[in-house]
Amino acid sequence: MKHSKLYFKNIAEIAASINDEQIDQLAIDLAKIRGNKGRLFILGVGGSAANASHAVNDFRKLCGIETYAPTDNVSELTARTNDEGWETVFSAWLETSNLSSNDAILVFSVGGGNVEKNVSVNLVKALQYANKIGASIYGVVGRDGGFTKQVGNNVVLIPEVHSNHVTPHTEAFQAVVWHCLVSHPKLQLMSTKW
């Protein structure tokens, strides 16, 4: 089978098997965060950081949720990395932002963080801090969900249908899931232009 045909066949399989009830519940959960005047902090690394930046716009503009991504401030991100280390870059940012129990973390990640494998440890440290504070933890992750799935309140797992395409499928479906959320009737306050 040609690559393109297989790729889009896999996309259809993921769309057919993703847990839509969990996504509907996530919309309800995020509406509660907004209703309690809580903030949403979206964490991601690599391609997931780019997705986080786009999602911040949508949750702020379309849903009226005060939303931030630490990776949007490259000066602070690189200063913290240089001075304090990559592992604590998100937890320190959240501490300075006065993360509270009214707030929520939304993780976009392919693996969800794993200390043993030394992958996305900055996400793990941020989630440990969020747990300590009592903030809600949500995620859209791939593979087995990693640490995010272990500690999260509601973590959408992108089904793995092709082992060589875990990263592109997961990062693509982060966008599908957040666009579903920001257009969800429980969350959307402002309609899109088109």
Residue 64 falls within a domain, yes or no? Answer: yes
Residue 116 falls within a domain, yes or no? Answer: yes
Total domain count, the chain:
1
Residue 142 falls within a domain, yes or no? Answer: yes
Residue with tokens 């300075």: 96
Residue 140 falls within a domain, yes or no? Answer: yes
Per-residue tens of pLDDT for the chain, all 194 residues = 899 999 999 999 999 999 999 999 999 999 999 999 999 999 999 999 999 999 999 999 999 999 999 999 999 999 999 999 999 999 999 999 999 999 999 999 999 999 899 899 999 999 999 999 999 999 999 999 999 999 999 999 999 999 999 999 999 999 999 999 999 999 999 999 89
pLDDT at 1: 81
Please report, for the domain that includes residue 94, its CATH number: 3.40.50.10490
Residue 192 falls within a domain, yes or no? Answer: no
Residue 6 falls within a domain, yes or no? Answer: no
Angle CA 27–137–71, to nearest 5: 95
Residue 81 falls within a domain, yes or no? Answer: yes
Residue 189 falls within a domain, yes or no? Answer: no
Residue 175 vs residues 28, 33, 94, 96, 187: alpha-carbon distances, Å:
18, 21, 23, 28, 16
Look up the domain containing 92 and give its range: 23-182
